[in-house]
Amino acid sequence: MLLDDMVERGLPEETRMMRDVTRKFVNEHVIPFIRQNWQQEWSMTPEGRLPSRILEVADEIGIRTLGVPEEFGGTPIDPKTEVQTFAVISEEISRGDCGLSDKMVQIWKVSVLLRNLAPRHLQERWFPRIVKDPTFLLAHCLTEPRGASDRWLPYNVPEAAMNTKAVLKGDQWVINGRKQFISNGYDAKLYVVYANTNPKVGMLQGTSSFLVPRDTPGLTVQRCNETLGGRFMNNGEIVFEDMAVPKDHLLAEGDALSRAGVYFRPGKIIQGSKNLGVGVAAFEKTADYVQNYAQGGRILIKHQACAMRLADMATRICTVRGLLREAAAAVDAGSPDADVLCNMVKLHASEAVLEVCRHAMELHGGNGTMLDFGIEKLYRDASMFLHMDGTVDVTKFKIVKALFPDTAGRYAGPET
Ligand SMILES: Cc1cc2nc3c(=O)[nH]c(=O)nc-3n(C[C@H](O)[C@H](O)[C@H](O)COP(=O)(O)OP(=O)(O)OC[C@H]3O[C@@H](n4cnc5c(N)ncnc54)[C@H](O)[C@@H]3O)c2cc1C
- Long-range contacts of the stretch 120-127 (C-beta < 8 A, 24+): 121/248, 122/211, 122/248, 122/249, 123/69, 123/72, 124/72, 126/190, 126/211, 127/68, 127/69, 127/72, 127/73, 127/74
pTM for this structure?
0.96
- Residue of 411 and 358 predicted with greater confidence: 358
Residue 390 CB less than 6 A away from ligand 1: yes
Average pLDDT over residues 88-106: 96
| Ligand 1 centroid to residue 228 C-alpha, Å | 15
pLDDT band per the 50, 70, 90 thresholds, residue 412:
low
Residue 209 CB less than 6 A away from ligand 1: no
**Portion of the chain with pLDDT greater than 70, in percent:** 98
Residue 162 CB less than 6 A away from ligand 1: no
Distance of CA 391 to the CA centre of its chain: 13
Give me the amino acid identity at 271.
Answer: Q
Residue 149 CB less than 6 A away from ligand 1: yes
pLDDT band per the 50, 70, 90 thresholds, residue 387:
very high
Cα gap 229→385, rounded to integer Å: 9
Q: CATH number, domain at 157?
A: 2.40.110.10
Q: Looking at the structure, do residues 249 and 263 belong to the same domain, yes or no?
A: no
Q: What is the DSSP code (8-state) at residue 66?
A: T
Residue 208 CB less than 6 A away from ligand 1: no
Domain that holds residue 306: 259-292+299-403
Q: What is the pLDDT of residues 283-312, one digit of tens each?
A: 999 999 999 999 999 999 999 999 999 999
Q: CATH number, domain at 265?
A: 1.20.140.10
Q: Burial, 235: exposed, middle or buried (Cβ in 10 Å; 0-12, 13-18, 19+)? A: buried
Q: Show which of 90, 108, 132 is a domain's final residue.
A: 132
Atom of ligand 1 nearest to the CA of 194: 11
Cα gap 177→191, rounded to integer Å: 14
Q: Looking at the structure, do residues 152 and 235 belong to the same domain, yes or no?
A: yes
Give me the amino acid identity at 399.
Answer: I
Can you give the pLDDT at residue 152? 84
Q: Looking at the structure, do residues 286 and 366 belong to the same domain, yes or no?
A: yes
**CA angle (341, 343, 346) in 5-degree steps:** 115
Q: Looking at the structure, do residues 358 and 313 belong to the same domain, yes or no?
A: yes
Can you give the pLDDT at residue 214? 98
In a domain, 409, yes or no: no
Can you give the pLDDT at residue 415? 58
